[in-house]
Structure formats: structure tokens, C-alpha cells
Amino acid sequence: MTFRRHCIKEAAEQVIKLKQHLPVQTLGCRTDRCGTTIRRDKIMWGMIATWRMAAEGVEKGAHMLAEGQNAGDAIETAIREVEDFPYYKSVGYGGLPNEEMEVELDAAYMDGDTLDIGAVAAVKDYANPVSIARRLSREKVNSMLVGEGAEKFAHKEGFERKNMLTDRAKAHYRNRVKEQRELELKPYSGHDTVGMVCLDSAGKVTAATSTSGLFMKKKGRVGDSPIAGSGFYADSKVGGASATGLGEDLMKGCISYEIVRLMKEGMHPQEACETAVNRLDAELKARRGEAGDLSLIAMNKDGEWGVATNIEGFSFAVVTEEKETQVYLVERQEDGHCTYAPASEEWMEEYMRTRMAPVVEK
Ligand code: SD4
């Protein structure tokens, strides 16, 4: 069987399994794809992340996990890979600016063993906000810093300074200013925060995020990504979750914590993601008439994973000890269930082509 056909078959089997909402496994046991409980004497490692852009980072992290490295180092390396790639418009270098044409970055890191959390918000001119966040997670107090305070800390700790505003991002900004004037566009559009959950073979779960937030946001605006429980959560006794979408709405449901809470109550990650997303989506629509974009990924302590979204076009990347890195596209069914299938080679090529195409100024 070709690799692609193998992936499609695996994805189809996952869908069947998810529809059955298999019960959560007990420690040291997993359920294989046929539903048979198998005992394991070692914990499976794995990593899941929002959007296709995370795939290369996830691949790097997977190599580290396969060598027995820990989930903290693997997730930081994986996120840095995304932050460093200039063609991704909403993370790290090349991220899109705020209203005042400044790139203000948010990032966070959580250690699921100790529940340590570190976060930075609205930080400018530092290459890898996730590393600053991780460093902050070791502080007992002052572990979330914003703006100038975060930059001062980063400087003192010797983090790499970098002008994060690229010429491409400036061109996008100028185009958007014109579009807003001419088409009366809302400033917010397009978003691709990278959020990851990682499990290592010692059973440690971590979660981390990094983003430039909403394009054309107000100076000082902070989204869900650096906010524990909303943009991310990790508990090695249960698993972790991370979010992407409209921060203002994701925060209304503390949705990453909610998913971990549901997994703790016994839900499979897929069921937990769908339950949390569908509930929040419904609440927002009932109370406010509309719901912003909500897309979530999760992995439990046994390496099982799930995703859910209320939008079209959500993609994610996942790797486990048993299965190499794969990008999937999610499809939300009318009843709120989310199914997914491997992204085709054509889709992958088109994705990179559009990301790297020259920006034509209007
Ligand atoms: C924010 N949630 O700042 C982020 C944006 C995002 O995918 O996720 N984009 O609100």
C-alpha cells in the first residue's frame, strides 16, 4: 500500500474510532485502532499542533522525543521553528503588525508536571517569545510579563533581539490600510496562532503558544494565547489543549482548561474538543448572536488526540511514536462532529506557494 493510501486508511479508521467515543484508557494501557486494549510498559510520546505551518516544527520535536528528550525542550524547539520562518504571517518573525505598524507578540509555556506557567504579551523586538515564556515559567512570581517589562527581562536574560517587522509584513500592512479605507473591511481577518501540546516518553505533558495576534489589533491588545486556561493548558496527569481563533471569544469559555477538565472526567480528547467547542459556540450564538472562530487541539497522557473547530479550513499537524508527522484538514459536520483527512500533496504545495508568493502592493 502506498504511504498516502495508508494515511487515508488510518484517517478513516480514526474517524470510526472517534465516532464510537471510546472510553478513556487506564494508565499503562492503550486501545489500539481496532478497539483492543493493549498494555504498555512505556508511555507513548506524541505532539499535536494547530495549523499546517507547525508541521516542520512538529517533525523536529518528534526527532527529539524519539531520542528520549523531554517535552519541554521538544515543544520549545518546535515553536521556535515556526517563529523563525519569515513567511508565516502571524507568528514570530514576519508576524503581522498592530494598527501602529508594530509587531507585538504573545507567547506562553506550561509544564504539566509542576503546573508552572510562563507568558509574555505585547513583546516587541525579540526573536523567540516562546523561549522567554519558558524561562519565565521557572519564576515563582512575575511569571507573566507584558510589553516593556517583558523586554527588560528578556534583555537581562540575554535573549536574542531582532527587528521582527519584515518588508513583507509592511507591504501587507499598507495593503490592509488601503483595503480598510476602500472596502470598509474589519481590521480582524486571517489568523494562525501556533499552539502545541507535547507528551514525552516519561509522561510529561507541556503546552505552548506563540502569535502576533490579530492583524491590525490595537496597540497593547492581548488575546487568549498567553492566557492560561484559554490559549493553552497542560496537566501531565490528564493531557493538554491549545487554541487558535478569536481570542476575545476563546477566553469567554476558558476553553483549553475546559477541554482538559473534560478529559479528566473521562472523555477521549476528540469528544472533549467537540464538546467544549460546540458548547461555547452555541452559548456565544445564543447570548451574542455570533461566535468568533474557535479551533482546538488536544492530546491526553496516553498520546491519544483530538481536534474540533467551528470554521472551515482548519488544519493541524500531529505525530506520535506510532505514526509519523501528518497534516490533516478538518471538516465540521452539521451535527458538530469534526472529521479529518490527510492533506493532499497538492494542498501542501499550494499552501507553501501562497505563503511564499510575492506580496503585490495595491
Ligand atoms: C489571538 N487567538 O490573539 C489569537 C489569534 C489566533 O490564530 O489564534 N490566531 O486572539
Q: Where are the domains of the chain?
A: 3-39, 46-356
Locate cell 474517524: which residue?
Answer: 15
249 lines ligand 1 (CB under 6 A): no
Distance between Cα 110 and ligand 1 center (Å): 18
Cβ–ligand 1 contact at 104 (below 6 Å): no
The answer to whether the CB of 223 is under 6 A from ligand 1 is: yes
For domain 46-356, the CATH architecture is 4-Layer Sandwich (3.60)
DSSP string, 324-342: EEEEEEEEE-TTS-EEEEE
CA within 13 Å, CB half, 148: 0
Cβ proximity of 267 and 24 under 8 Å: yes
- Check if the beta carbon of residue 239 is closer than 8 Å to that of residue 206: no
**Beta strand residue intervals within 19-116, DSSP E:** 29-31, 37-39, 46-50, 105-111
339 is annotated as an active-site residue? no
Q: Is the CB of 192 under 6 A from ligand 1?
A: yes
CA angle 149, 151, 153 (to 5 degrees): 70
- Which phi and psi angles does 93 have, rounded to 5°? -65, 125
> What is the distance in A from the centroid of ligand 1 to the CA of 47?
20
Which grid cell is 144? Answer: 507573566
The whole-angstrom separation of Cα 132 and Cα 56 is 21
Does residue 105 contact residue 95 with C-beta atoms inside 8 Å?
yes
117-123 vs 144-146, strand pairing mode: parallel
- Cα of 293 to ligand 1 centre, how many Å? 9
Is the sign of the CA dihedral 262, 68, 210, 245 positive or negative? Answer: negative
Q: How far apart are CA 345 and CA 359, in angstroms?
A: 24
Instruction: Give the span between the Cα atoms of 57 and 343, in whole angstroms.
Output: 17
How confident is the prediction along the chain (362 residues), in pLDDT tens digits per residue?
Answer: 343 444 444 555 554 444 444 433 334 444 444 455 545 567 899 999 999 999 999 999 999 999 999 999 999 999 999 999 877 778 888 788 898 999 999 999 999 999 999 999 999 999 999 999 999 999 999 999 999 999 999 999 999 888 888 888 888 888 888 887 676 555 556 568 999 999 999 999 999 999 999 888 999 999 999 999 999 999 999 999 999 999 999 999 999 999 999 999 999 999 999 999 999 999 999 999 999 999 999 999 999 999 999 999 999 999 999 999 999 999 999 999 999 999 999 999 999 888 888 888 78
Cβ contact 96:212 at 8 Å? yes
pTM above 0.85, yes or no: yes
- Catalytic: which of 193, 206, 209, 320? 193
**Structure letter (DSSP) for residue 54:** G
124 in contact with ligand 1, CB cutoff 6 A: no
